[in-house]
């Protein structure tokens, strides 16, 4: 059985203003660079059951238009993707992402 794509029907993204600043301060990832990940392939998405509370959370591995490998934590509030956190992938995440590209 194929699971539903959490991005089906999404038309854009939404950010909490505090998270925009926090992601830049901590990880030097601009909001627009994090958003690019959702427009490029491959995009690997997994459910984040560990951090899900009242709404489902997801993890994504992808790359920006410049080729920067990013890890994104997000939720979906239809029709928007709400990005919670964005950072560079760890070595382990980058290996998994590169493996998926082949």
Q: Each residue of 20-77: pLDDT tens digit?
A: 899 999 999 999 999 999 999 999 999 987 766 788 999 999 999 999 999 999 999 9
pLDDT at 2 over 60: no
Residue with token string 């690019």: 36
Residue 5 lies in a domain: no
In a domain, 2, yes or no: no
**CA 18 centroid distance within chain:** 17
Q: Is residue 1 part of a domain?
A: no
pLDDT of residue 3: 62
The domain of 29 spans: 12-101
**Rounded to two decimals, what is the model's pTM?**
0.88
Determine contact, residues 70/29, Cβ cutoff 8 Å.
yes
Residue 25 lies in a domain: yes
């Amino acid at each position: 059985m194929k699971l539903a794509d959490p991005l089906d029907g999404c038309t854009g993204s939404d950010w909490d203003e505090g998270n925009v600043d926090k992601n830049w301060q901590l990880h030097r990832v601009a909001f627009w660079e994090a958003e690019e990940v959702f427009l490029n392939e491959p995009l690997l998405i997994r459910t984040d059951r560990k951090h899900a509370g009242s709404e489902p959370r997801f993890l994504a591995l992808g790359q920006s238009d410049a080729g920067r490998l990013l890890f994104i934590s997000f939720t979906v509030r239809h029709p928007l993707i709400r990005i919670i956190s964005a950072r560079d992938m760890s070595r382990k995440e980058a290996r998994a992402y590169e493996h998926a590209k082949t």
